[in-house]
A and B are shown apart, each in its own frame.
Chain A
Amino acid sequence: MSDPILTLEEVHTDIGRYRILQGVNLVAPRGAVTMLLGRNGVGKTTTLRTIMGLWRARSGRIVFDGADIAASPTPAIARAGIGYVPEDMGIFSDLTVEENMILAARSGPLAEARRERIFAAFPPLRTFWRKPAGTLSGGQKQMLAIARAMAEERRLYLIDEPTKGLAPAIVAAMASALRALKAEGASILMVEQNFSVARHLGDHAAVMDDGRIVWTGAMAELAGDRALQERLMGLSLDAHGGR
C-alpha cells in the first residue's frame, strides 16, 4: 500500500443531526480494487458520497492523488478524475442512452474504440442506444451507470453496490465487465454486499461498522477466515453470498 490513490484521514460527516461517519481512515491503493464492506447502515454509501463532495465532511482530510479535496465542490472532484456510480444509479431517464453517454464523456466526444469496448461489455446498450434510458430494465440501467463511469479515462472509480437487486445472470455480466476494467489496471473503490463478487474482484478489503473502519487487510485473508467475518459483520460472508 505504498502508493495510495486515495486516503481518508479521520473523516467525520454529519447528515442533519445524525453523526454518520465518525472518523473514517481508509487507504485505496493505486491500480487495485478495494472493497468497502459492512452491514447496512454503517456508512459505506455516505463514505463514497463524502469523497464525491455530495455530503460535506465536517472534519478530516480526503487526499486524492496528493491533493486534499475535502473542501472542493463536486464538479471539481469529478474533473480531478473520479468516476462515480451511485447506489441509485443516477440514470437520466428522460435522456436516451446515447445522450447519457455523451454527457458522461465530458472532455470530448466518446471515442469510437471506447464505445465498442463498452458495447462488447454491455451489449444491450448497443441495442437500445437511441431509446430513453427510463425505459431500460433495472439491470440495463446498472449497465448504463457503469458504462457512464467508463466513458472516459478515470483515475479512480467509486462504485456503489453494482449488483444490488439484479438477477444472477446479469450479476455475472456485471462482474465480468468489472473484471475487464480491473484488468486494465483501474483503481476502484467499491461497496459490495454480494460476497462472491466481492471475493473474486477485490484485492483489498476494508470493513466498516458504526461510522468507522474496523478492519483492513487483504481480501484473501478475510475470505479465508470465517470467524473473522462473523466477528466483523455478524455473519459469514460464505453463508450470505455463496454459490
Chain B
Amino acid sequence: MTAAPGHNPTFAARGPAERLAEAAPFLLVPLLAAAGWLAIPQGSSWLTLTVSGLAMGMMIFIMASGLTLIFGLMDVINFGHGAFVSVGAFVGVGALAALDGLTGAPSPALNALALALAAAAAMLATGALGWAFERAIVRPVYGAHLKQILVTMGGLIVIEQLILVIWGPSEIFFSRPEAFKGALTFAGAAIEKYRLVAVGVGLALFLAMRTALRATRIGLIVRAGVENREMVEALGYRLRVVFVGVFVAGSALAGLGGVMWGLYEEVITAHMGGALMVLVFIVVIIGGLGSVEGCFLGALLVGLMQNYVAFLEPKLALISNIGLMVAILMWRPQGMIPVVKAK
C-alpha cells in the first residue's frame, strides 16, 4: 500500500470523555432503575414495577419507532399516528373474538397462535390504512409543517370518529387468552406473564429493526436518507418509494403496539391512541427525532418513570415524564441521540 505523498492517514483517538458522552444515554436506563430501587422500599415491589415499566416501554417503543423514522426520513410529523394505534387495537381484538376456538382452547400453543393471528390482522389493516393515509392526507403537504400538523390532526379526528361509527361508542372490555393470564412469582415478586411476553416481543423487534437498518441495503438507504435525502437520490435511489414503505411499516407497527396495549389493559377505546400519543411524543423528542436507538432508550425511560412514580405518588406520573423530557432537553437540546442532518 502506497500512501498519497506527504499524507499519513491518522484516526483521531477518542478520549474517555467523548466515549462517556456517547455511552451516557445507554447508562440512563440502569441509572433510573437504580434510583427506583433506592426510592421504593420493598425489593419485590421494585421488581414488579421494573418489569411492568419495561413492558410498557417496549410497547411504546413499538408505537413510536415508526413515527421517528417517518420524521427522520421525510421531515414529516404525523399527528395522526395515534389513529393507527386505536385501529390496530380494534381490529386485533375483533380478530381475537372471532378466533374464540383458539383463544378458548386449553393449549398455550393455540392461544399464542391466536395472538399472532390477531397481531397479523391488526398490522395488515393498519399497514393498508397507513398506505392510504400517506397518499390522501400526507402527500399533498410535504415540506409544509404547519399544514402537516393540521391535516394529520384532522385525520386523527376522522379516523377516531369512524372507529366509533364502526365499533360503537362505548369502550370494549375483554380478557386475554388463558395462557397469558396470571402471574409468575419470582423472588417474592408477582410478575404478570403477559408483561414478559411484551418485553420479549419489544426486544425482538428492536433487535430485528437494528439489524435491518445495519445489514440490509434498504436499511442503509433509510439511515443515509435520514442524514441527507438529496444525496441518496443523487445516487439513484427513489427515496419516495422507500419512504412509503417506511410509512406503511411504521403504521403497521403502531397497529401492533395498539393490539399489545389493548391486551395489556384488557379494554380498548377509540381515543386510546390519541391519549398514548402524549407518551409517544415525549419518547421521540427525548430520543432524538429520527433515531431508533434513541427512541428505544427513551421509551424504556418513560415506561420505568411512569411506573415508579405511579407507585410512589400516582397523581404525578404524567408530570414526572414531562419533567424527564425537560431534564433531557436541557442536557441535550436535540435529544439523547441526536441525528446528524446534512442541512
Contact = CB atoms under 8 A, between A and B. Distances in A.
Interface of A: 52, 54, 73-75, 78-79, 84, 86, 88, 90, 92-95, 99-100, 102-104, 106, 119-120, 122-124, 126-128, 131, 134-135, 137, 139-140, 148, 169-170, 172-173
A243 to B, nearest CB: 15
Contact of B234 (A78, A120, A126): A78
Interface of B: 1-7, 9-12, 217, 220-221, 223-224, 226-228, 230-239, 339-340, 342
Contacts, number: 99
Contact of A90 (B1, B7, B10, B228): B228
A161 to B, nearest CB: 16
For chain B, what secondary structure do more than half of its interface residues adopt (helix, strand, loop), or is it mixed?
loop
B4 A90 contact: no
B82 to A, nearest CB: 29
Contacts of A172: 4-6
B230 A106 contact: no
User: Which of A52, A94, A134, A135 has the most B CB atoms < 10 Å from its CB?
Assistant: A94
B11 A104 contact: no
B6 A103 contact: no
Nearest to A173: B4
A123 B2 contact: yes
13 contacts: A54-B230, A54-B234, A73-B238, A79-B236, A95-B227, A102-B217, A103-B221, A120-B2, A122-B4, A124-B9, A126-B1, A135-B11, A169-B5
B288 to A, nearest CB: 12
Contacts of A173: 4-5, 7
Given A54-B230, A75-B236, A78-B236, A103 B224 contact: yes
A106 B236 contact: yes
Contacts of B223: 92, 94-95
Given A95-B224, A103-B224, A131 B11 contact: yes
A202 to B, nearest CB: 22
A188 to B, nearest CB: 16
B235 A78 contact: yes
Given A90-B234, A106-B235, A128-B9, 19 more contacts: A54-B234, A74-B233, A75-B233, A75-B236, A75-B239, A93-B340, A94-B227, A95-B223, A95-B224, A103-B221, A103-B237, A106-B237, A120-B2, A122-B4, A123-B3, A127-B9, A139-B7, A169-B5, A172-B5
Most chain B CB within a 10 A radius of its CB, from A94, A103, A139 = A103
Contact of A169 (B7, B232, B237, B239): B7
A100 B239 CA distance: 16
10 smallest beta-carbon distances between A and B, as pairs:
A173-B4, A169-B6, A90-B231, A78-B236, A124-B9, A74-B233, A92-B224, A79-B236, A75-B238, A84-B234
A79 B239 CA distance: 13
A90 B230 contact: yes
B338 to A, nearest CB: 11
A223 B342 CA distance: 36
B4 A75 contact: no
A126 B10 CA distance: 12
B239 A90 contact: no
B236 A95 contact: no
B7 A170 contact: yes
A228 B223 CA distance: 48
A130 B341 CA distance: 21
Contacts of B342: 88, 90
Contacts of A54: 230, 233-234
A86 B231 contact: yes
B220 A102 contact: yes
Contacts of A128: 9, 11
Contacts of B239: 75
Contacts of A126: 1
A172 to B, nearest CB: 6
A98 to B, nearest CB: 10
A180 to B, nearest CB: 12
A124 B7 contact: yes
Nearest to A126: B1
A135 B227 CA distance: 15
Contacts of B339: 94
